[in-house]
Amino acid sequence: MIAIIDYGMGNLRSVQKGFEKIGCDAIITADPHVLLTAERIVLPGVGAFRDCMKNLEQGGFVEPILKVISEGRPFLGICVGMQMLFSDSVEFGLHSGLNVIPGHVLRFPDQMTVAGEKLKVPQMGWNQLSFKRRPPVFDGVNDGSNVYFVHSYYVKPTDSSVIATTTDYGFEFCSSVWRDNIIATQFHPEKSQAIGLRILKNFAELT
Amino acid sequence: MLTKRIIPCLDVKGGRVVKGVQFIGLRDAGDPVEIAEMYDQQGADELTFLDITASSDARDIIIDIVQRTADRVFMPLTVGGGIRSVEDVRRLLNAGADKISINTAAVDRPDFVREAAERFGSQCTVVAIDARRIPGEKRWEVFTHGGRKPTGLDVVEWAMLMESYGSGEILLTSMDCDGTKDGYDIELTRAVVDAVSIPVIASGGVGNLEHLYDGFTAAGASACLAASIFHYREYTIGQAKEYLRDKGVEVRL
């Protein structure tokens, strides 16, 4: 069973429907104990880092998340759910994250330009994946595939060997990481049409 | 690099998709969920539902449509029209919307935009602006209530203010061009694009594929919204994107 962590932030329905579409049962749960019985765990994230972390803490999710990760169960972080795995974020002041993956969450610089046009922040829309490594969760996903992003902040891992893909937005930023049982994506698989569903299916089948 | 987005807009009234010409004279264009699926298959980058009934029982109809659409298509979905409270936003997001667009309520009470952005994030808080050119000038006025009510606000200043309140994107509709099929108001769109750091969606007036090209290049829009050229199948999304790619615009194909 796949458990999607509900800590009171935003739209979880799309993630659940994505799994249903590919024939996998996924439950949305606000009960930290349910995580401990789940085979796979998804940590989505919409909203500000600070509020997401606060809600995770208040919901009693921090210990169970650290536990299931250390036990080696497949774990998928999406967007802010990826960012929270890092050490800290500068969104609305400096805030600590779960520190599962050492590194920082930084804001896209203002006033970047490409071909004379300002790069807008947030980055909103479809951009390409460039593979550094090939985790099984990306089986069947081609280099250069377009996936959907919406974010103003990006992760910078201390150890660059965890980077699975980068994406170009004025510079190459880390768009997904892979370490052991942890997969985390800055983009939204649940909003990335067929490619996104393929990633969710791969995740559901990870052994 | 980030691709330019093509966004079909579905104006929804009484549970059906309609398309107004300069905000009047509605024609029936079909079932919203079916049309959403068609655009999904054609490779639209996002979808926008604009609820133009905006009465209280219409709220439940649009929530049902959003829910049924989000069950079937896995792409970003924006909903606008009559959104007045944080509770309205919460219900739509829970139904499966990714972004909500606020228009009249932002003018009535700008703090609502700030509240929505703080609660749900800037990434889902779109401010929609209906703009009308002040005759003989390079200035535009903000209108509300579906384009019926002048506000005295300057469009460029208003867009900048809304960015400072936490809006993550501007949906900019030219009322002068809407329904004319003569193309976007390039001057208007360029003025707002250059004034804000957040993405701007051009809207109102697209009648052919060259207009989309102009919206992305001359006006610098991040996304182009269109309704009738796609609803009445004059062009598919795929044709539009191939045209743009051949002219050197980065699109997702």
Q: Among A119, A126, A150, select the one facing B3 at the smallest CB separation.
A: A126
Q: Scanning every residue of chain A, which has its alpha carbon at the shortest distance from the alpha carbon of B40?
A: A193
Q: Scanning every residue of chain B, which has its alpha carbon at the shortest distance from the alpha carbon of A49?
A: B121
Of A38-47, A60-69, A120-129, B188-197, the one with minimum mean pLDDT is A38-47
Percent of chain B with pLDDT over 70: 94
* pLDDT, position B23: 35
Choose the mutation target among B46, B123, B224 for the interface with A, i.e. most A CBs under 10 Å: B123
Would the CB atoms of A151 and B123 count as touching at under 8 Å? yes
Tens of pLDDT, residue by residue over A134-175, are 999 999 999 999 999 999 999 999 999 999 999 999 999 999
Query: What tens digit of pLDDT does each residue of B2-43 get?
Result: 999 999 999 888 888 876 433 334 455 678 888 888 899 999
pLDDT, position A51: 87
Torsion, Cα of A72, A73, A76, A82 (10° steps):
-40
Please name the member of A14, A114, A125 whose beta carbon is closest to the beta carbon of B5.
A125
* Interface contact flag, A150 B98, Cβ < 8 Å: yes
Cβ-nearest to A114 among B1, B75, B94: B1
Domains and CATH numbers, chain A: 2-205 (3.40.50.880)
pLDDT > 70? residue B71:
yes
List the single residue in A with minimal CA-CA distance to B194.
Answer: A118
pLDDT at B152: 97
Q: What is the pLDDT of residue B54?
A: 58
Residues of chain A with Cβ-Cβ distance to B123 below 8 Å are 46, 122, 124, 150-152
Distance from CA of B24 to the nearest CA of A (A): 31
Q: What's the pLDDT score for residue B24?
A: 37
Size of interface A-B (CB pairs under 8 A): 104
Instruction: Kindly report, residue by residue over B175-198, the tens digit of the pLDDT.
Output: 999 888 999 999 999 999 999 999
Q: CA-CA distance, B89 to B46, in Å (whole number)?
A: 18
ipTM over 0.85: yes
CB contact under 8 A, A13 and B95: yes
- Å from A159 to nearest chain B CA? 24
The distance of B184 to chain A (nearest Cα, Å) reads: 19
pLDDT above 90 covers what percent of chain A? 86
Q: Which residues of A touch B (CB under 8 A)?
A: 10-11, 13-14, 17-18, 21, 46-48, 110, 114, 117-128, 146, 148-152, 168-169, 190-193, 196-197
Average pLDDT over residues B104-133: 94
Q: Give the three-class secondary structure for A49.
A: helix
Distance from CA of B209 to the nearest CA of A (A): 20
Residue A10's pLDDT is 65
Q: What is the pLDDT of residue B140?
A: 98
Using a CB-CB distance cutoff of 8 angstroms, which residues of chain B are in contact with residue A14?
70, 74, 96, 98
SS3 of chain B: CCCCEEEEEEEEECCEEEEEECCEEEEEEECHHHHHHHHHHHCCCCEEEEECCCCHHHHHHHHHHHHHHHHHCCCCEEEECCCCCHHHHHHHHHHCCCEEEECHHHHHCCHHHHHHHHHHCHHHEEEEEEEEECCCCCCEEEEECCCCEEEEEEHHHHHHHHHHCCCCEEEEEECCCCCCCCCCCHHHHHHHHHHCCCCEEEECCCCCHHHHHHHHCCCCCCEEEECHHHHCCCCCHHHHHHHHHHCCCCCCC
Band (B55; pLDDT cuts 50, 70, 90): low
Alpha-carbon gap: B25 to the closest alpha carbon of chain A (Å): 33
Q: CA of A121: which chain B residue's CA is closest?
A: B198
Strand, coil or helix: what is A68? Answer: helix
Residue boundaries of the structural domains of chain B: 5-246
Residue-level pLDDT at A169: 96
CATH 3.20.20.70 assigned to B5-246: yes
- Return the percentage of chain B with pLDDT > 90, whole number: 69
Residues from chain A contacting residue B252 (CB–CB below 8 Å): 126, 146
In this model, does residue B166 exceed pLDDT 90? Answer: yes
Element (H, E) at A102: strand A101-107
